Structure 1
Amino acid sequence: MASTQNETRTRRSLGRSKGTCLSCRQRHIKCDESKPRCTKCVKNSRECTYGATDPSKDWRRNIVTFNASEPTEETGEGSSCKELNHSAAFSSGSRAMVPRNASPSFSLPAQLPILMGEGYSIRDVQALSHFVEFTGNDLIGSHFLKSLWTQGGIQLAFNNDFLMHAVLMTSSTQLQRLNPASYEEHRIESNKHLQASLRSFRGAISSPTYVTNNFEAVLATTFLFLMHSGSNPTFDPSQPGMDGFLQHACGLYDIVRYNPACVPRSPFAPLCTPMLLPDISPDSGPGYDLSLMIKTTNPHYANSDFGSYESIINSLTPILEIVESELPFGGASPDALVLYLVHWLSFLPSEFVILANSHQPKALVIMAHYYAALAFVLAKWHKGWWWLRERPVFMIEQTDAFLGEDWEVWMKWPISVLKMCEEENGHWGRAVAADRFDEVGVEEEMGVLLSADFHPCKLGDESWARKIASYR
């Protein structure tokens, strides 16, 4: 009897292992925790997923994972807000961007007394003002969504310190790019606020009740983390690590789908509604080329394939086709298109993200095609998205250099798109005129995106989709 009880406890303990996949956990069997699929699931042809029993853990882990360096101790004058000279030259401007190498003027925030009492420095006050005047207006590019950051987002920040630090981090990151002469100073400030935000954020999101009651602040902070990782592209195959941009996009989707009741009433809903264009299977073009790549029998390319490659490629193909279309941006607003492309990352299953972070060639080629579509839109649309503009070209060039000549046949399209964007008079060579999409009606110009529909699950996870559909 005692032996039976001990065996039962052992099996339960194995089933509760933090790294155990869901399939093994449900069967109370030992899991070797291999990724993306454990040995038992591979042997028995079972679906293998991790972390599904506690949904909050997935997005929490994704959100707080950064490759950022530790902040350097602040040097120079550490003036506190209490030492602020109120006769200093504060001015409110309406400039679209601060000139390079120029120190931006800044406005005195109405909540400055609150900020003063919390130990923030004069640099923090300047960063906050810069965010209100410039950074917040250039995060997305859409007139409709700008007020989310410069009005509602700021108000939330004064009630949630992790969001305030994330706002200051974002502003300092932009100031790095605008003021090369003080790049290092702003980099230190950005890292300081990143670490401060993460410390506070980890504690806040440990409580599901807190997340539900403060969903907008949590979501806004998640977006700023996503933007921060997007503005710092890295690609170093010699070092183990992960692409924070992919990781945080997955976390963004998880926080949305595991808090569905909070989304409709949130002003951030336009940024996170799970909509996806219908899959297509073309007989030509870049999407077709990708489908050939994953099906090739050439032993040189016939390495292990992840099962949902096909669904990922089919969902990406409609956007790849827009690059080849004669209709500008498929008739969609460029801002809406870029937002859709950023959001598309959120549908990538964690197994694919692992393969991309492990520099698996086929996963990298798929992502290079994604970045080519993103580079194309950004190259022809010169408004907003400052935090995203360096990433596409960087990732394509680094991927191409890493894969080398053996994979150039599959990298041909992304490289050709980069050249196309550079050619002044080539196909889609010239930037689209801003008045093509006026600010008032920009959200109504959806074009090809009109066919996007609600998508309740990660790509390739049809079992979850069926489960959601049963409740609708």
Structure 2
Amino acid sequence: MTLINTLPIPRKKHAKLFHKKTRTGCQRCRVRRVKCDEARPICNNCIRLDLDCEYAQPPAAKKSSESNSAQSSASPSGGEGVINSDGVVQLAETTARRRLELELFYHYSTVIAPVHSVDKFSQAFLGPFMCQAALRSDAVLYAVCMVAALHKAHISGDAGSEYMGHCLTYTNLTLQSHHQQVANLDPDNVDFSCLTSSLLRVYRYYQLQNRSLEPYTPPVEWLRMCNTSNIVFRKAWAFIEERRESVSGRLMLEISQNLEEKNRMEHSNELIHLLRRQEPHELEEQWDDDVHNVYKRTLSCLGWLWKHRFDSDPPYGVSRRLFLFPMIVDAQFVIFVEEQRPRALIILAHYFALLAIIRQLWFVGDAGLREAQAIAVAVPPAWLGMLIQPLEILKDPSLLCNVQPKS
């Protein structure tokens, strides 16, 4: 005889979801009780939801230890770091600090600025405009010192040099001051915020050159930081719409024009083959209309550049569009890259192959070629057919158009 168990079947309890509490995340993520990636000046959650992002001031009890840390990081300038009432590290006024900043400012204005970019507007923007702004804004001054110290470390060929230590000190100071500006954006500091954001991107591009590529992980932090700059400029637009001839106005006008092209998907047909879905591996990926449109808008950001990649006399604006690409792509595309979706990585490889157009810039160098080659190794073999054109560029980058100013 078979005995039937008449006892009630115990009900499975749902596993409780726990989130690590963060004391350093932004205030909105803490209120919503979601994990904050703590990207500054704007975290990714606030980017995705288009929210204002604010970080709490450090608790008074922690200021002493943080001040000690700031002192050690600021020690190359001979001064001690002090945290002010806004939670921003301030360097003490010392002769050593003044001499260092004068040295770095002079190096930036005489060595870096004249060859910093490849078109006249960018040369003026990153040269005289930046130097004048550095005399009026701590954030811009710190950013100028950061880039100058980075360049001095670069030309010395010593990543662990004294100047790299100065660079890290001024990077931290730049980020803190920049966050305060963005959190309190107004007509008086909007130009300074845009200028500071631009120099922070220079620093991030330089970091691409030396990062480890084995095993390959996409440069998501770089993408997010550049994408955050778009939010800064969008917030700035409210203050500069009537001042379109200002530095930030001219920059924002160009960004808005590129955003409009992206949303109209004007140039997506140049790379339309990257949306193909015929092979079994292509049909297996997650797909719907939203995914399709994210990819199509991203291709639109690249299409104009791709069309002119081999021109003997390229149109004006190629270099600036290269820098705008990571700023204006959808935040959702960045998530696809982070998830290492093959199609997203392939599109990113096309961008990095084009980045070789401006490889003569010291802060870009061979970063684009390295990233494109690493992606070709990382994607599944079945997807390599979509990388034929970038791989051809890698074989002979000299085929790419020359955007250096003509004498």
Aligned residues with identical type, % of pairs: 13
Partner of 2:280 in structure 1? 298
Trace 1:161-240 onto structure 2 (pairs within 5 A).
161-180=138-157, 184-207=161-184, 210-233=185-208, 234=211
Q: 1:260 to 1:118 in 2, by over 3 A?
A: farther
Q: How far 1:399 sits from its partner (Å)?
A: 1.2
Equivalent residue in structure 1 for 2:312, among 319, 325, 328: 328
1:132 aligned counterpart, secondary structure:
helix
Q: 1:312 to 1:147 in 2, by over 3 A?
A: closer
Equivalent residue in structure 1 for 2:373, among 392, 397, 402: 397
Q: 2-side partners of 1:200 and 1:157: how far apart? A: 13
Q: How far 1:181 sits from its partner (Å)?
A: 5.1
2:363 aligned counterpart, secondary structure:
coil
Q: 1:310 to 1:120 in 2, by over 3 A?
A: same
Q: 1-side partners of 2:274 and 2:207: how far apart? A: 27
Q: 1:414 to 1:192 in 2, by over 3 A?
A: same
Partner of 2:299 in structure 1? 313
Equivalent residue in structure 2 for 1:341, among 322, 332, 347: 322
Q: 1:433 to 1:275 in 2, by over 3 A?
A: closer
Report the more deviating stretch, 347-356 or 157-166.
157-166
Q: 1-side partners of 2:299 and 2:187: how far apart? A: 34
Q: 1-side partners of 2:371 and 2:122: how far apart? A: 27
Q: 2-side partners of 1:52 and 1:244: how far apart? A: 15
Q: How far 1:189 sits from its partner (Å)?
A: 1.4
Question: 2:269 matched to 1:272?
Answer: no
Question: 2:243 matched to 1:263?
Answer: no
Q: How far 1:320 sits from its partner (Å)?
A: 1.4
Partner of 2:88 in structure 1? none
Equivalent residue in structure 1 for 2:132, among 155, 159, 169: 155
Q: How far 1:142 sits from its partner (Å)?
A: 2.0
Partner of 1:364 in structure 2? 345
Question: 2:386 matched to 1:410?
Answer: yes
Q: 2-side partners of 1:186 and 1:71: how far apart? A: 17
Q: 1:242 to 1:358 in 2, by over 3 A?
A: farther
Q: 1-side partners of 2:95 and 2:233: how far apart? A: 31
Q: 1:316 to 1:152 in 2, by over 3 A?
A: closer
Report the more deviating stretch, 71-80 or 125-134.
71-80
1:231 aligned counterpart, secondary structure:
helix
Contact 2:237 2:252 in 1 (8 A): no
Q: 1-side partners of 2:352 and 2:336: how far apart? A: 17
Contact 2:319 2:403 in 1 (8 A): no
Q: How far 1:363 sits from its partner (Å)?
A: 0.9
Equivalent residue in structure 2 for 1:251, among 215, 225, 228: 228
Partner of 1:374 in structure 2? 355
Report the more deviating stretch, 398-407 or 231-240.
231-240
Q: 1-side partners of 2:177 and 2:95: how far apart? A: 14
Q: 1-side partners of 2:305 and 2:167: how far apart? A: 34
Partner of 1:126 in structure 2? 103
Q: How far 1:158 sits from its partner (Å)?
A: 2.7
Equivalent residue in structure 2 for 1:57, among 49, 53, 78: 53
1:346 aligned counterpart, secondary structure:
helix
What is the letter of the counterpart of residue 56 of structure 1? Answer: D
Post-superposition Cα deviations, 1:57-109, rounded to whole Å, max 9, x if no partner, equal 39x9xxxxxxxxx99957998557xxxxxxxxxxxxxxxxxxxxxxxxxxxxx
Q: 1-side partners of 2:268 and 2:238: how far apart? A: 37
2:370 aligned counterpart, secondary structure:
helix
What is the letter of the counterpart of residue 348 of structure 2? Answer: M
Show structure 1 runs of 5+ residues with no match: 1-16, 26-30, 36-48, 61-69, 81-114, 423-427, 440-472
Q: How far 1:50 sits from its partner (Å)?
A: 6.2
What is the letter of the counterpart of residue 310 of structure 1? Answer: K
Q: 1:118 to 1:269 in 2, by over 3 A?
A: farther
What is the letter of the counterpart of residue 286 of structure 2? Answer: S
Show structure 2 runs of 5+ residues with no match: 1-26, 38-44, 56-68, 80-91
Contact 2:268 2:296 in 1 (8 A): no
Q: How far 1:246 sits from its partner (Å)?
A: 1.8
Q: 1:136 to 1:262 in 2, by over 3 A?
A: farther
Q: 1-side partners of 2:268 and 2:135: how far apart? A: 50
Contact 1:231 1:388 in 2 (8 A): yes
TM-score where L is the length of structure 1: 0.60
What is the letter of the counterpart of residue 177 of structure 1? Answer: H
Partner of 2:8 in structure 1? none
Q: 2-side partners of 1:412 and 1:321: how far apart? A: 16
What is the letter of the counterpart of residue 389 of structure 2? Answer: W
Report the more deviating stretch, 148-157 or 349-358.
148-157
